[in-house]
Amino acid sequence: MPSQITNYQCPACTGPLHFDSASGKLVCDYCGSTYTVAEVEEYYREKDEQAAQAMVQEEEAAAQESAASAQSGTAAAEMTASDTAAGESVAEEHEAEQENPWDADGITSDWGAEAAGMKAYHCPSCGAELICEETTAATQCPYCNNPSIIPGQFAGTLKPDYIIPFKLDQAAAENALRTLYKGKRLLPSAFTRESHIREIKGIYVPFWLFDGEAAGSVHFHATRTHTYTRGDTETTETEHFQVERGGRMAFSRVPADGAKKMPDGHMDAIEPFHYEDLKEFSTAYLPGYLADKYDVSAKENIPRIEKRVRSTFVQQIEQTVTGYGSCNVIRENVQIHRGKVSYALLPVWILNTHWDGKDFLFAMNGQTGKIVGDLPVSKGKMAAWFFGLAGGITVVLSLLLNLLF
Partner 1 sequence: MKEMKKAFLCFAMILSVLFLLTAPAAVLATGENTDYSGVYVWDTAGIMTEEEQNALQEKAAQVAADYQCACYIVTVNDYQDYNAASPYDAAKSIWQDMDFGYGDGRDGEMLMLSMNDRDFAIIAHGDFGNMAFTDYGKEKLDEVYLDNFRNNDWYGGFSDYLTQSEKYLQMARDGEPFDVDTDPDAKSARHFMERVIAMIIGLIAGGSVVGGSYRSMKTATEAGNANVYAIRGSLTVDRRRDVFQNRTITHRHIQRNKGSGGGGGGTSVDSGGFSGHSGKF
Residues 225-264 that bind partner 1 (CB under 8 A): 229, 232-255, 263-264
Region from 15-23, 81-89, 91-99, 314-322 binding partner 1, contact rule CB under 8 A: 314-322
For residues 143 and 298, give the distance between their C-alpha atoms in angstroms, rounded to a whole number: 36
Q: What angle do CA 400, 401, 402 make, to 5 degrees?
A: 90
**Quick check: 397 binds partner 1 (CB under 8 A)?**
yes
| Minimum distance, C-beta of residue 225 to partner 1, in the bound complex (Å) | 10
Nearest approach, Cβ of 213 to partner 1 (angstroms)? 8
The alpha carbon torsion through 86, 87, 88, 89 (nearest 10 deg) reads 50
- The dihedral through the CA atoms of 382, 383, 388, 389 has a sign that is positive
Q: Which residues contact 296 (CB under 8 A, 6 or more apart)?
A: 257, 258, 259, 260
**Binders of partner 1 among 162-201, rule CB under 8 A?**
184-187
Task: Rule CB under 8 A: say whether 317 interacts with partner 1.
Answer: yes
Q: Using CB under 8 A, which of 315, 326, 328, 333 touches partner 1?
A: 315
Q: Does 266 bind partner 1 (CB under 8 A)?
A: yes
Residues 62-81 that bind partner 1 (CB under 8 A): none
3-state SS class at 31: coil
Using rule CB under 8 A, residue 327 touches partner 1? no
The C-alpha atoms of residue 212 and residue 403 are separated, in whole angstroms, by 62
Residues in the chain: 405
CB under 8 Å to 88, separation ≥6 — which residues? none
Among 52, 85, 158, 393, binds partner 1 (CB under 8 A): 393
* Closest approach of partner 1 to the CB of residue 200, in Å: 17
Piece of the chain touching partner 1 by CB under 8 A; list 63-71, 110-118, 276-284, 391-399: 391-399
Asked whether 364 and 351 are in contact (CB, 8 A), the reply is yes
Q: How far is the CB of 257 from partner 1 (least distance, A)?
A: 11
Nearest to 244 by CA among 324, 338, 321: 321
3-state secondary structure of 378: coil
Report in angstroms how near the CB of residue 310 gets to partner 1 at its nearest. 9
127 versus 388: smaller Cβ distance to partner 1: 388
Cβ-based neighbours of 283, under 8 Å, separated by 6 or more: 6, 138, 149, 151, 154
Output the smallest distance, CB 204 to partner 1, in A. 20
Segment near partner 1 (CB under 8 A); pick from 93-101, 168-176, 350-358, 385-393:
385-393
Subset of 10-29 contacting partner 1 (CB under 8 A): none
Residue 221: in which H helix or E strand, if any?
Answer: strand 196-230
Site string for partner 1, 87-106 (x = CB under 8 A): --------------------
> In the range 36-65, which residues lie near partner 1 by CB under 8 A?
none
Neighbouring residues of 159: CB distance < 8 A, sequence distance ≥ 6: 281, 343
If one asks whether residue 348 binds partner 1 (CB under 8 A), the answer comes out as: no
Q: How far is the CB of 344 from partner 1 (least distance, A)?
A: 14
